[in-house]
Structure 1
Amino acid sequence: MPITVESQKRPEGSKPKALRRSGLIPANLYGHNGIESVSLVLNAKDVERLLKQAAPNKTEIVLSIPDLEWTGSTVLREVQVHPAKGTPYHLSFFAAKG
């Protein structure tokens, strides 16, 4: 059964550090609309839960972006982790084809 995660479009001009301080993790979605990518933010608690359940490049994740009225099947391609803190600080999702 796929995991479902909700995200929001990243506010224009927002700084990643400020987002992280407020409990949000920056992310990108690629391939949902041709070559276009979209900048997103996810709740840090949702990301923690997701990373316990999902294996990068393997687990199907249904990503919901209400701001864009888009929901689709994705794969978690990359998780960047803070070298000192060991906490995730950026995620990359790829939309599944078909």
Structure 2
Amino acid sequence: MSVSIECQKRPEKSNPRALRREGLIPATLYGHNGAESISLTVDHKEATTLLRYAKVNETLVDVKIPDLSWEGKALIREVQAHPWKRNLYHLSFFYQANPTEA
């Protein structure tokens, strides 16, 4: 089963709380271009569905960013959530140049 998610580029100086009120979760993609990172947003429902099927640091996810015409495989490196309410705060993805099957 292939796990994928579509992200959008996050507007400059956008407030993360305002994004969450709009139903978007802030995210970051690391390692796609050396030490650079991209600030992204993910739809809350898509992120929740993704986390139902993917495990942190184990599952390769197809990440698509139509705004930048970029797509590739990445691991979910970190999930930030409220300790007991389980509200998502932030997702971190790490690009995998040569994905291997685990």
TM bracket (short chain): over 0.9
Q: Is the 8 A contact 1:30 1:37 kept in 2?
A: yes
In structure 1, C-alpha distance between the alignment counterparts of 2:60 and 2:43, rounded to whole Å: 19
Q: Give 2:87's aligned amino acid.
A: T
Q: Secondary structure in 2 aligned to 1:52?
A: helix
SS in 2 for 1:12: coil
Deviation at 1:83, TM superposition (A): 2.6
Aligned length: 98
Corresponding residue SS for 1:73: strand
CA distance in 1, matches of 2:88, 2:95: 20
- 1:73 Cα shift? 0.3
**Aligned position for 1:37:** 37
Moved over 4 A (4+): none
Aligned counterparts of 1:21 and 1:97: Cα–Cα separation in 2: 34
Contact 1:9–1:39 (8 Å) recurs in 2: yes
1:86, CA displacement in angstroms? 1.3
Corresponding residue number in structure 2 for 1:67: 67
Q: Which residue of 1 aligns with 2:77?
A: 77
Contact 1:7 1:66 in 2 (8 A): yes
Match of 2:94 in 1: 94
Describe the SS at the equivalent of 1:97.
coil
TM-score (norm 1): 0.96
Runs of 5+ in structure 2 lacking a partner? Answer: none
The one-letter amino acid of 1:4's match is S
Secondary structure of the residue aligned to 2:19 is helix
- Match of 1:53, as an amino acid? Y
Identity %: 54
Provide the rounded CA distance (Å) in 2 between the counterparts of 1:35 and 1:84.
Answer: 34
For residues 55-80 of structure 1, give each alpha carbon's deviation from its aligned partner in whole angstroms, at most 9, with x where no partner exists: 00111100000111100000000000
